[in-house]
Structure 1
Amino acid sequence: MRLEQLQAFLAIAETGSFQGAARKCGVTQSTISRQIQALEGDLGLELFHRTSQAKLTLAGERLLPRARKICQEWQTATQEITDLVAGKQPELCIAVIHSLCAYYLPPVLQKFCHDYPDIQLRVTSLGSDRALKVLKDGLVDMAIVMNNRFLTVGKEIVVETLYDEPIEVLMAANHPLAQNERVPWQELIRYPQVVFKDGYGMQRLVQDRFERLQATLQAVLEVNTLDAFRGVVRQGELVALLPHSALVEARKDPTLAVRPLACNGGVPDNSALTRRVVMVTTQDRLQIPPIQHFWQLVRENIPPQVSLERSAC
């Protein structure tokens, strides 16, 4: 059964003749006849009484509402795809890590809403692993996250690096570590820490560094918002390792202190502790004009110019 056969069937039912159906469909009468014969062959029953006027048989009457529904669904589907290619979509869904959502993304959001006022922009703040999962599940159109090479593989996945940024230490202003210009790792590992919850790339990054140092991470508290990090650390005992972009507000707070890390003396390759922020979508989505436009806006407006000086090492 083919769509044009159903369309021919409907045209005959509406016009009452094979000749009228041919004019309606813009084909020859013999073409209409062949399509109906093929359809009847598939079904095993005649659909029309061949008289002076084509009248539906019982089988034809049963098929009529179903054929209308199938053809209407096809018309709706093709129109939706046409609208999609033309950039006419009801919403654009983005999953973003907290630090970008709070500080660097708002100008991009404002620009996009100005350029596409008819599209509802939906932004969800999620941890990196969760954001990549909902992208793969088709629940969002794009994710801006900390890179996870295990979750960004696949021919359909498009990944663009936005920037690398250093990880720094957040502490209370009166914390003993605040006396250091750069915090030595051998000192840092002595203090209990507040960390991101499981499923956040930062937790995995910090845990991996402590394992490479052959040190125990004293993770006594897990939170998932930047406000919570600042509030807990402000109490005086706990410290936190956070990316540069997550510490914008903390740098303005006189009750808090932010310090860069010193050399990673215990790490074999002596590398600095940094995270990579990437933009991720799929090949098919990147062909859709609004998604393509948002991708370009992010590329043009992010990254912030973050210094990765390692002079102390």
Structure 2
Amino acid sequence: MRAFAAVARAGSFTTAARQINLTQSAVSMLVQQLEVTLHLKLFDRGAVVLLTAAGQQLLPFARRILDDVQQIAEGASDLRLLRTGLLRVAAPQMLACTWVAAVLGEFEQAHPNVGLRVTDAMADEVVSIVRRGEAELGVGPERATGDDVTSTFLMDVPIRLVCAARDPLARQQAVSWKKLRDARWVIYSSEFNRHLERLLHEHDRSLSMQTAVEVQYLTTALALVGVGTGLAAVPDYGQIFAANFDVRFVKLRTPEIHRRYYIYQRRGLVLSPPAEAFVKLLRQRAACNGG
């Protein structure tokens, strides 16, 4: 069709060949192949090359098809070069508004024409959001995925003790779990609490966490710790909110506990260019943070 349109525009096979960087014989062969396919003569070949009546009727269709192909090529280039597209990410609310938000800000500066859609949810919901296709990527702590969602390791995040700023523990550089044997805890995730209890029991069967109150969101847990309701065990990235809730983050030791974070995506689906670029940036930032 490119050859057909070029010859129609130039009125010459030789001139058309120069315009589309082919030989005259190649252009002639292409036009002949199109005529055989269509079972129609498109040109009267004489001293001057003229469109037949059929060629005149089909030329506008060919030009529209070529325009559409050009738009597809340009659209693909825009997607590939991140001049357009949409990045859809799910993450736990606290992670979303701290570490992930910082990476998203860097991504947006580098690719301002890519739209962002962030689903901030509870940690237990991230895998389900990816499974339903509401987000192309999920970032969150380790969770069971099933066969339709894959998980790849991203980073280890240390778990810190959080106490009220006026608590004597706030003046410590580090606190051992044994010293917290009688403490009361604000629990914000039953799954996370079970994970901590399991790790503590592996280290010392006498260690456990006595629940003072249980909530759904980490921000609520920090607020309750700040007013003296209890202590909390919180990933290190939550330190950004220490001043807001008048709390302090203190290192925990014996044992030191880290939380493993993963990238989740639906199995068998090829990531879009924005998602691929974002995963690369996530891994770079995780490596910078020691993950």
- Whether the TM-score (by the shorter chain) exceeds 0.5 is yes
1:298 match: 282
1:259 match: 250
1:136 match: 131
Q: Between the two proteins, what is the percent identity of the paired residues? A: 20
Tell me how far 1:215 sits from its aligned partner. 4.3
2:198 match: 208
1:171 match: 163
Q: Please list, as runs of the form range in 1=range in 2, the aligned pairs for 1:159-198 lying within 5 A after superposition.
A: 159=152, 161-178=153-170, 180-198=172-190
Task: Tell me if the contact between 1:95 and 1:124 (Cα under 8 Å) persists in the aligned partners.
Answer: yes
1:165-218: CA deviation from partner (whole Å, max 9, x where unpaired):
2211100123243354322222213111111134xx533322323554344432
Count of residues paired in the alignment: 222
2:258 match: 274
Task: Tell me if the contact between 1:85 and 1:289 (Cα under 8 Å) persists in the aligned partners.
Answer: no
Question: Partner letter of residue 94 of structure 1?
Answer: V
| Distance in 2 between residues matched to 1:84 and 1:155, nearest whole Å | 30
1:213-260: CA deviation from partner (whole Å, max 9, x where unpaired):
34443223223444323221111240001111122331x569422221
5+ long unaligned stretches in structure 1: 1-22, 30-78, 265-271, 308-313
Task: Tell me if the contact between 1:104 and 1:304 (Cα under 8 Å) persists in the aligned partners.
Answer: no
| Distance in 1 between residues matched to 2:289 and 2:76, nearest whole Å | 38
CA RMSD, 1 decimal: 3.5
Change (3 A) 1:249 1:101: same
Q: Secondary structure at the match of 2:228?
A: coil
Change (3 A) 1:217 1:94: same
1:60-106: CA deviation from partner (whole Å, max 9, x where unpaired):
xxxxxxxxxxxxxxxxxxx8xx9699459763321112343222223
Question: Partner letter of residue 257 of structure 2?
Answer: L
1:242 match: 234
| Distance in 1 between residues matched to 2:241 and 2:207, nearest whole Å | 30
Question: Partner letter of residue 248 of structure 2?
Answer: A
Task: Tell me if the contact between 1:184 and 1:262 (Cα under 8 Å) persists in the aligned partners.
Answer: yes
1:92-133: CA deviation from partner (whole Å, max 9, x where unpaired):
321112343222223432343345444431112223331011
Change (3 A) 1:26 1:283: farther
Q: Secondary structure at the match of 1:292?
A: helix
1:139-158: CA deviation from partner (whole Å, max 9, x where unpaired):
2100111123x32x648625
Q: How does the TM-score come out when normalised to structure 2?
A: 0.63
Question: Partner letter of residue 263 of structure 2?
Answer: M
Question: Partner letter of residue 127 of structure 1?
Answer: M
| Distance in 2 between residues matched to 1:100 and 1:254, nearest whole Å | 17
Match of 2:140 among 122, 142, 145: 145
Change (3 A) 1:156 1:168: closer
